[in-house]
Structure 1
Amino acid sequence: YCPADQKLYMDLVFFNELHNRFGAKKGDFAMAYVTAHEIGHHVQTLMGTSQKVRQAQQRMSKVDANKLSVALELQADFYAGLWAYYNKEYLEEGDIEEALSAANAVGDDTLQRKVQGSVNPDSFTHGTSQQRKDWFLRGYRTGDMSQHDTFSELKI
């Protein structure tokens, strides 16, 4: 998602990598999850959340700025789950498992372990695999927009 022009650009090669390189289950709903997550960033732009985060990040350490990035990303995962909740009638068996598999594959801990061989939580910018799955599921299970506050759990 590009906040400057408020458009979503998708690199279709990424979806092959998601499955082949990162081990996510292959399927159309893995793509839907990623797309809904990116649209979640558009919602954050419209609500002013992204701008507030960027402004706050300029006044803090890199580690604390990364924590705000994690909260922003987890909120986008929540919005993706919320979207899935309101589109249950279109879901097929296995769709949620595909989304969770994709969320698991792109968690900072999983990616760092695969690429670097070790995990450094202070450098996380998107959250752990478990956090990403949990926030997607919170949106999917509750369907409640008021549950979107990923920032209150930060320890900055």
Structure 2
Amino acid sequence: MVTKTEKRNFKIIEDHLRNYKLYKAGIHNFKRKLDYIMPNITSSYELREGSVGVFTFKSDTEKYAIDRIESKRALDIVEEMKRYQLIIDSIDKTLRDLKKEERDFVIARYIEDQSMEKVSQQMNVSLSSAYEFKNEVRKRLLIGCKDLVLIP
């Protein structure tokens, strides 16, 4: 029998699995935002008379970039990016540890958001057998993805 806590935890895991592709897109977008917040600072190396050489930084936006690096906004973006990466890493690790049939089921059902009917057809099993299989996979996901329940 499935407890209320297990149902709640599995719902959280299912939500993370369904958002897997969005987390990956989110990381890409966060990186672009960070690139915008922290513009490139160019550097150059000059050989001056009487010295071995001087390495200098030059950018019209240097002060602006430094101010922005320290901003709360950049820190928030980095924290959210880390959160997304933790979720992706947890899902990837769990998927690697599942049996191929289980992994295919999880990818089709949650990541590709296919209906149980379509998944059962792909598995060449009845719909009721697909639901039984889902219950077996649920147990393994509750173990492998337990950390996802704890991520805010």
TM-score in terms of structure 1 length: 0.27
Structure holding more strand per residue: 2
Q: Indicate the structure (1 or 2) with the bigger Cα radius of gyration.
A: 2
